[in-house]
Structure 1
C-alpha cells in the first residue's frame, strides 16, 4: 500500500496539462504551418514544443522526426525500427513521443510512479552516449516533470542504487552490462517497462552486446523461461513492451535481426551463451513484436552540407599533410580519426611537436578517462574558458569509437588521418560534423592502398548516390566504366537489399582495430 503522501504526489503528477496547440487564431503557428516548419502538426504537447523552441532553439523538426514522431504517438503503440543518417535527430525522434506517452499515462490512467520501476528503457552501446542522451532528457523533463537516470560503468554502483531507491525514476538510460548488474542485484525491476529503445543498434551488434541484449529482452518478451535443451515453442507475452530500434546504417546484422518480413522479426538466442556453458544443438529464436520499418531520406548518403576533400598522400610525409590540414583550421574544433590506438598516439606526439594541443579517445583508455577527455573537448569546442580561465584543447584524436552517436555541434572539421576500411565508417566519421543545419569540412588522406575505396566514395558523393555496397576491391567494379559502377552479380537466396560479400568484409575488421 502506498502512503497518503505518495498518493498526493501521484495526484499532483496528473495535474492539468496543456494538449497540443492548434488554434487557427495563432498567427505564428499558422505561418509556420504554411511553410511546413511547425512542430505542432506532429501532435506534441505544448510544453514540449515550448521547450524545443525556447530552451533548445529548435524551431522545426527534421525529416526523420516528422516521420517517426506521429508513428510513436499512435494509440496502438506499434514497435518500430527506423533508420536515418548520422546527425539527423534520431534521439529527439524517439524521446519526444515516448515521453509524451508516459505523461498521457499519468494524466488519463489510475497510475502511481514508484522507485526502482522505470517505464521507459533506453539501451545504448557506450557510457558517453548514455550521458549525452540523459542530458537531453533532463532538458525536456523540466517541462513535463519526468525523472531520468543513467546507469553506466565508471560510476559508483552504490550511488546509482541509492538514486533508484530514493525516488521514482521514469526513464533509465543504460549500457546493457551495467543494467544487467542492477537487475540481478534487484536494484531495478523491469516489469513496468512499457517501451524499450535500442539506440545505435548497428554499433551494439558490432561491439558484441548480443548476449546482454538477449538476457534483458528474453524475459520481457516471453512468458516461459529459456530452458537449456528445450525445443518447446516460445510463448510471447500478451502485452510485451514496445520495441523502438534506431540505427544509422542497415547492416547485415540488422537485416538478420529484423528479417525480410517486418512481421517476423527475430533475434537468434544461443542457449549455451545464456546459461554459461553446456552443449546444445538448438538456437531458439527471440521474436520481437510486429515491427514497422521506416527508412528516412538520405540513408547511406553523405551529408550535403559537407565540403569533402580527398588528399592523395603519394610520396609526401603523411604527418606533414595532417599538420597542414589541422593548422589551416586551427581556431576551429577538429576531430582526427585513426584506425588504431597506436596510430592515435603517433598523431598526438606529432601534433604536440608542432605545438598543437590535443586530447585522445580510444578503446585502450578506460571509460573514466574517455569521458573526461570528451568533456574537455566539448568545452574546448565551445570556445568558452573554464572556471580558472584556461582554454581546453579543441582537437580530438580518436579511433572509430568516437564515430557513433557523439553529438558536438561545434565540430567544424573532420580529418581522416587513416582512411576508413569501409564506406559505412566513412559516413559515420564524416557525420561528426555538419550537425543540425550547420556546414562542415572533411579532409581524407588517401594512401595507395586506400585509392579504390576512396575513388568509389568520391564518385558516389558527386552523383549523390548511397555509399552502401561500395568495396575496396577493384575487381568489384565494371572495367572501363566510370569508377564507382558496381558489377551486377547474382546472389542466390539473399535478400534483395543485402550488402554483397565484398562490402561486408571490411566491416568485420573495423571492429577489431579500435
Structure 2
C-alpha cells in the first residue's frame, strides 16, 4: 500500500522495503544498499530485522541511529508469546540510542559514544526483568537514581565505547526523546502485570493513549447469530450457515469460516466440499505463494474462505459479508479479531457462532457484555478460569480446542 502512494507526476512518494526472511534481507542489502540508497520505510517482522542488524555491528549502529518513527502493528500480539523478547530487545536498542544522543547533546562531547557496537543493552534489561520477575524489577527500580548523569562522571571504560550495565541503568531515567513509538492494536488488555497494555504502561509511563469509541466492544453494525451444537448437529449447522448468503457493499458474497487448528480447517473444507461447496483454505501448512493466491482469488471472486486465526489479524479484505465460527474462539481477544473481519469501513455484516457446552462460559461472558453495551474486557482475563472449568467437566467434552476435529465424513 505504501509503495502505491504516488505524486501528481506518478512517481512514488516513498521508498518502501519488506523484510521477512534471510533471502529477502540479502536482496534488500543488494538492491537498496542501506549505506547508499536507504528506503524511507521498512516493514519487517521482529526476527527478520534482528537477524539483519545484529550480526553486522556497523549496520546495526547506522540503522538504529537513522530510525525516527517506530510503529508496532498488532501490538498486543507482539508483546506476548514468542515475539515478546525480540520486540523488547528492539525497543531497548532504540531507546538506548536515544539516551546516548541525549547525553551527547547535553555534554557537547560529540565523539563520546560514537562506537556503540558492543554497548547496546542485553536481554537482561529492566523491561525483560519486569516480565520475568516483578519483585526483582521493583527492587531495582526503587534502588536506582532518577538524577541525570553528567558525561564527566562516566568511567573511562564507558568513554571508550563499552557501556557497563550500571551505566545503562543510570542513563536510562531522564533523556530527550529523538524517536517516536506508536503501538497499534484492536485489542489491548491491561488487566494483569504481564498483559500487553500493562507492559506498555511500564515501559512508556508518559505515553499518550488514544482509543476509539468501540474499543473491545461489539460493532453496532454486526448482526449476530448464536447456535449451540453437538457432535451430531454441528455438520448440518455448519452447512446451513455457509449457505446463508449475506451480501454487503457489492453483489459478491464473501464468507470467512474460522477453525482453531490446521486439522480442523481441513476437516471443515472436506465437509463443505462433500456438500458441493467450493472453498479456499488458509493456514500455516500452506506455502506463502498458496496463501497469497487464495487471498487474491477470495478478494476478487468471493466465495468461502476456511482459515485459522492466521487470517484474523492484518488481512483487510473489503466487503466480507459473513464470518462463521465453526470452532468457537478460545479467548475473547480472538473472538473480537475474528468478528472484526466483517462490518468494516461502515458496512454491515453477519457473524454466526457455533458453540458447544464446553464453550458456554466464554460465550455467556461475551454475550452478556454485548447485551449491556459494555466492553468485552471482563472476559479477557478469564481465559484461565474457563480452561479450568473445562478440565473439571472431563476430557471427553473438551479434547483439544476444536469441535470440528471430532467429525468424521
Please indicate the TM-score interval, normalised by the length of the shorter structure: 0.5 to 0.7
Q: Helix, strand or coil: the match of 2:341?
A: coil
Distance 1:215 1:456 in 2: 36
Q: Could you tell me which residue of structure 2 aligns to residue 296 of structure 1?
A: 212
Q: Could you tell me which residue of structure 2 aligns to residue 256 of structure 1?
A: 198
Does the aligned pair in 2 maintain the 1:378–1:408 contact within 8 Å? yes
The alpha-carbon distance between structure 1 residues 171 and 141, as it changes in their structure 2 partners (threshold 3 A), is farther
Distance 2:171 2:69 in 1: 19
Distance 1:451 1:504 in 2: 9
Q: Could you tell me which residue of structure 2 aligns to residue 145 of structure 1?
A: 13
Q: What is the Cα deviation at residue 328 of structure 1? A: 2.2
Q: Could you tell me which residue of structure 2 aligns to residue 246 of structure 1?
A: 184
Write 1 or 2 for the structure with the bigger share of helix: 2
Q: What is the Cα deviation at residue 171 of structure 1? A: 1.0
Q: Could you tell me which residue of structure 2 aligns to residue 160 of structure 1?
A: 28
Distance 2:43 2:387 in 1: 32
Q: Does 1:192 align with 2:77?
A: no
Q: Helix, strand or coil: the match of 1:352?
A: helix
What does residue range 436-455 of structure 1 map to in structure 2 within 5 Å?
Answer: 436-455=345-364
Q: Could you tell me which residue of structure 1 aligns to residue 245 of structure 2?
A: 329
The alpha-carbon distance between structure 1 residues 335 and 501, as it changes in their structure 2 partners (threshold 3 A), is closer
The alpha-carbon distance between structure 1 residues 354 and 295, as it changes in their structure 2 partners (threshold 3 A), is same
Q: Could you tell me which residue of structure 2 aligns to residue 378 of structure 1?
A: 299
Distance 2:387 2:43 in 1: 32
5+ long unaligned stretches in structure 1? 1-134, 260-264, 267-287, 382-393, 472-498, 507-511
Q: Helix, strand or coil: the match of 1:295?
A: coil
5+ long unaligned stretches in structure 2? 101-118, 125-163, 247-251, 389-399, 403-409
Distance 1:173 1:304 in 2: 33
Residues 162-188 of structure 1: per-residue CA shift (max 9 Å, x gap): 332274411111111122223235498
The alpha-carbon distance between structure 1 residues 405 and 430, as it changes in their structure 2 partners (threshold 3 A), is same
Q: Helix, strand or coil: the match of 1:462?
A: helix
Residues 368-395 of structure 1: per-residue CA shift (max 9 Å, x gap): 43333323322223xxxxxxxxxxxx21
Match of 2:52 among 170, 177, 182: 182
Does the aligned pair in 1 maintain the 2:228–2:356 contact within 8 Å? yes
The alpha-carbon distance between structure 1 residues 301 and 503, as it changes in their structure 2 partners (threshold 3 A), is farther
Count of residues paired in the alignment: 309
Q: Could you tell me which residue of structure 1 aligns to residue 315 of structure 2?
A: 406
Q: Helix, strand or coil: the match of 1:450?
A: helix
Match of 2:336 among 423, 427, 445: 427
After superposition, the CA RMSD in angstroms is 2.9
The alpha-carbon distance between structure 1 residues 375 and 142, as it changes in their structure 2 partners (threshold 3 A), is farther
Q: What is the Cα deviation at residue 217 of structure 1? A: 2.1
TM-score (norm 1): 0.55
Does the aligned pair in 2 maintain the 1:470–1:503 contact within 8 Å? no
Q: What is the Cα deviation at residue 409 of structure 1? A: 1.4
The alpha-carbon distance between structure 1 residues 351 and 167, as it changes in their structure 2 partners (threshold 3 A), is same
Q: Does 1:202 align with 2:76?
A: yes
The alpha-carbon distance between structure 1 residues 455 and 327, as it changes in their structure 2 partners (threshold 3 A), is same
The alpha-carbon distance between structure 1 residues 318 and 162, as it changes in their structure 2 partners (threshold 3 A), is same
Q: Helix, strand or coil: the match of 2:182?
A: strand
The alpha-carbon distance between structure 1 residues 150 and 353, as it changes in their structure 2 partners (threshold 3 A), is same
Distance 2:300 2:385 in 1: 38
Q: What is the Cα deviation at residue 503 of structure 1? A: 6.5
The alpha-carbon distance between structure 1 residues 373 and 235, as it changes in their structure 2 partners (threshold 3 A), is farther
Distance 2:365 2:216 in 1: 14
Does the aligned pair in 1 maintain the 2:255–2:323 contact within 8 Å? yes
Does the aligned pair in 2 maintain the 1:141–1:147 contact within 8 Å? no
Match of 1:235 among 171, 174, 194: 171
Q: Helix, strand or coil: the match of 1:360?
A: strand
Distance 2:31 2:299 in 1: 27
Distance 1:163 1:251 in 2: 40
Distance 1:242 1:289 in 2: 14
Moved more, 316-325 or 339-348: 316-325
Q: What is the Cα deviation at residue 465 of structure 1? A: 1.6
What does residue range 255-404 of structure 1 map to in structure 2 within 5 Å?
Answer: 255-259=197-201, 265-266=202-203, 288=204, 290-314=206-230, 316-329=232-245, 332-381=253-302, 394-404=303-313
Q: Could you tell me which residue of structure 1 aligns to residue 397 of structure 2?
A: none
The alpha-carbon distance between structure 1 residues 219 and 140, as it changes in their structure 2 partners (threshold 3 A), is same
